[in-house]
Amino acid sequence: MKAKWLGVTLLVAVAAACGEGHAIFSIDVYSFMTGTGSDTLRVPPDPLPGLPPASPPVQDSIIPIGVDLPSAMSSSIVDTVLVNGSLDVTHSTGTGTFSYEVFFSSSSDPAVVYAATPALTVGPAPIPGTGPVPITSQNIAAVVGDAFKGSGLYVGIRVTMSNTGATNLQATFKLTALQARIVFQDKIF
C-alpha cells in the first residue's frame, strides 16, 4: 500500500515540477521502517551464542525502500538531496559517545552499502544526552546522487559507540522521523 501511495506522490511531483525542468520527490523513509523493527538499533547487539560482543560496539541495519522511480530518471541530474529527521537515544548503563551514520545505495548488498561514504553522520554525540537528536543534512547530492537513479533504493544505518566510563555502555537508538527530498534536473522528459 505504501508503494502505491508513493507512486501517486511521485506522479504528482513530476507533473507539478515539469514546467520548471525539475522533478521534486519527497520520500518519508521512516514510514518504510516503522513497525518492522529496523527503526530501532540496540548497541551492543545481542551476540550470537559463544561469540563475544563487537569492540567497539557497532550495529547495522539495511532497509529496502519501495521506491520505483521512472526509468527516465536514470539519465537525469540529481541536483539536490536533503535529509532530515529525529533520533531518540535511551541508555541503560554507562557513559560515552555515539556516531549515527545513514547510507543510501541502489544495492542491497551490505558490502556495497557500507563501503560507500555515509550520506550523513550525526555525532559524535554524548550518551546520555538530552532530548531527541536532530538529523539534518546540507545538500548531499554529490555523495549519494547516483543511488537515486536506480530502480531500487536501500537505506543503511550504522551506529558506533565509544565507552568513556567504567561500566559497560549499552544504548538503544530509535529513529522517530527520516525524510529525504530529492530534486532531479532536466533530462527527465
pLDDT digits (tens, 9 = 90+) for 66-115: 555 555 556 677 888 899 999 888 877 788 888 888 888 877 788 888 88
Is the confidence at residue 27, as pLDDT, over 70? yes
Which residue's C-alpha cell is 537528536? 133
* This prediction's pTM: 0.72
Evaluate the omega torsion of the peptide bond into residue 56 and state whether it is cis, within 30 degrees of 0.
yes
Q: Write the pLDDT tens digit of every residue in 114-130.
A: 888 888 888 888 887 77
How confident is the model at residue 171, as a pLDDT?
83
Distance between start and end Cα atoms, the chain:
27
Q: pLDDT class for 17, splitting at 50, 70, 90?
A: very low
Could you list the beta-strand ranges (E) of 94-132: 96-105, 120-127
3-state helix, strand, coil in the chain (%, to 5): 20, 45, 35
pLDDT above 50: residue 49: no
How much is the average pLDDT of 2-12? 46
Locate the DSSP E strands across 21-106: 22-28, 40-43, 58-65, 77-93, 96-105
- Residue 160's pLDDT is 83
Look at residue 32 and tell me whether its pLDDT is greater than 50.
yes
Q: What pLDDT does 177 receive?
A: 92
Residues 6 or more apart from 142 whose CB is under 8 A from it?
none
Chain mean pLDDT for the chain: 73
CATH number, domain 2-47+54-185? 2.60.120
Instruction: Give the range among 48-52, 130-134, 146-150 with minimum mean pLDDT.
Output: 48-52
Q: What is the pLDDT of residue 66?
A: 54
- Give CA separation, 164 vs 46, 88, 93, 108, in Å: 21, 20, 12, 34
User: To which residue does cell 533504493 refer?
Assistant: 153
pLDDT exceeds cutoff 50 at 15: no
